Amino acid sequence: MLHTNLGINDNGNLTFAGFDTVKLAKEYQTPLYVLDENRIREKCRTYINAMKKHFGEKSQPLYASKALSFKYIYRIMKEEGMSVDVVSGSEIYTAKEAGFPMENTYFHGNNKTDFEIAFAMDCGVGHFVADCREELDAISQIAGEKGITQKILMRLTPGIDTHTYEAVQTGQVDSKFGTAIETGQALELTKYALTLPNIELEGFHCHIGSQVFDGQTFCDSADIMLDYINTVRKETGFLATVLNLGGGYGVRYVESDPYLDIEESIAAVATHIKAKAEEFNVPMPTILMEPGRSIVADAGLTLYTVGSVKTITGYKSYVSIDGGMTDNPRYALYGSQYTSCIANRANEVADFECTIAGRCCESGDLIAENVKLAKPERGDILAVMVTGAYNYAMASNYNRVPRPAIVALNKEGSKVVLKRETYADVAMNDM
Ligand SMILES: *Cc1c(COP(=O)(O)O)cnc(C)c1O
């Protein structure tokens, strides 16, 4: 199986975190997001322990909550002692409503509005990750009006291409995010930031992209960032005490994806960074990392009911499900690969080649193409694995389709932690 929380029981049904997925589908209806809560907690602990052990006590992971943002997740993060990234006023609101300690939040984004900046300060957001000059000015000015000093990091682009899909690369020089080191603009902006009142610059941030399987990518960006920290110290006397390496450890979506040992990789990255810091004679900064996907992805599974199985003679077969791009737009957006199976016949040979289609009025509404399933029939339960990240988070109401419920599985049992939208919910704001 793709991940250790997946299995097959004596009835031939797919299990997830020890629960029979077919029973879950019956009890809670489909489409349904299911969350393995223990898996999320394990991941948090793996990151926290590895980072403290290898980078030092003050270092810590920040859960990039855009991957899956709703109240229950922020409660888990609070209980596990995680800090979190937030990227909008609404994520800040959700975290606060969930009782998350706001001093442990980092506010990201390449275009924070004045309203959001003021709202974030009123909510007590701990750090801003400032993207550009306009934002530095706005943060400084609004903090001044409120009579506070806002702690910030500056987002820089180290000029590195990760070997991932173009739309999820963010660290290259011409990225829309941050300020480029290579062009000299980062240094100029850093000098400027140091002159601004009501902000306290602690250090620098970079995020090279997502689905990173090779720790070397973090080493490469750390080299550039440490070199930069050294340059800034020489040029201005300012010594950054925080280096945020961003997010992006990869997850296994399909069998051909590599395995990754997070702790092992963090250990290797730490060894590299310590040596580099010594070489530059820079005191080892507090290291932050921002895993999103890798904390929640394999803790998620989506269950659907099969509607039609349509074979176009001489061409292909479509298996249509009761969800699709509205609950998982990632194939339509990026061509992302997923592993799926017929959950109620999980031990049958998967030899029926098909394309899994959603229910939207859109030919591109697909979940997977040319995959093999046990011959599906109307009423079968289709499970799509590793959907914990960027599925609910990216869900929409296209075609006025209500968003599915999220059910959490833990040692006490299963429970709804996010309600299924009703038709009335979807029409709620219609005047
Ligand atoms: C999206 C994002 C992350 C998380 O990326 P994952 O691939 O989900 O781990 C981390 N940091 C920043 C700044 C991001 O934008």
**What single letter denotes the amino acid at residue 50?**
A
Strand positions, DSSP E, 317-364: 317-321, 340-342, 352-357
Beta carbons of 264 and 26 less than 8 angstroms apart: no
- The DSSP call for residue 70 is S
Give all strands of the β-sheet with 19-20 in edge-to-edge order.
Answer: 6-8, 14-16, 19-20
CA of 310 to the centre of ligand 1 (A): 38
Beta carbons of 221 and 160 less than 8 angstroms apart: yes
Q: CA Rg, the chain, in Å?
A: 23
> Which helix or strand (DSSP H or E) is residue 310 part of?
strand 300-311
Q: Which two tokens stand for residue 233?
A: 């110290």
Ligand 1 touching residue 210 (CB < 6 A): yes
**HEC-encoded secondary structure of 231-252:** HHHHHHCCCCCEEECCCCECCC
Secondary structure (3-state) at 382: strand
Which stretches of the chain drop beneath a pLDDT of 70?
Answer: 161-171
Q: Which two tokens stand for residue 38?
A: 């223990």
Distance CA 47, CA 62 (A): 9
Considering only CA atoms, which residue is closest to atom 10 of ligand 1?
Answer: 247
Looking at residue 247, its pLDDT comes to 87
CB atoms within 10 A of CB 256: 7
Q: Residue 316: beta bridge partners?
A: none
Substitution site in 60, 207, 243, 386 for ligand 1 pocket (most atoms within 8 Å of beta carbon): 207
**What single letter denotes the amino acid at residue 203?**
G
Determine the distance from the C-alpha atom of residue 377 to the mean position of all C-alpha atoms in its chain, rounded to a whole number.
Answer: 34
- Backbone torsions φ then ψ of 107, nearest 5 degrees: -100, 115
**What single letter denotes the amino acid at residue 115?**
F
Which tens digits make up the pLDDT trace of 349-387? 999 999 999 999 999 999 999 999 999 999 999 999 999
Looking at residue 162, its pLDDT comes to 58
What pTM does this model have?
A: 0.96
Distance CA 253, CA 245 (A): 24
CA of 65 to the centre of ligand 1 (A): 8
Substitution site in 165, 168, 208, 210 for ligand 1 pocket (most atoms within 8 Å of beta carbon): 210
Which tens digits make up the pLDDT trace of 396-418? 999 999 999 999 999 999 999 99
Beta carbons of 172 and 160 less than 8 angstroms apart: yes
**Does the annotation count 341 as an active-site position?**
no
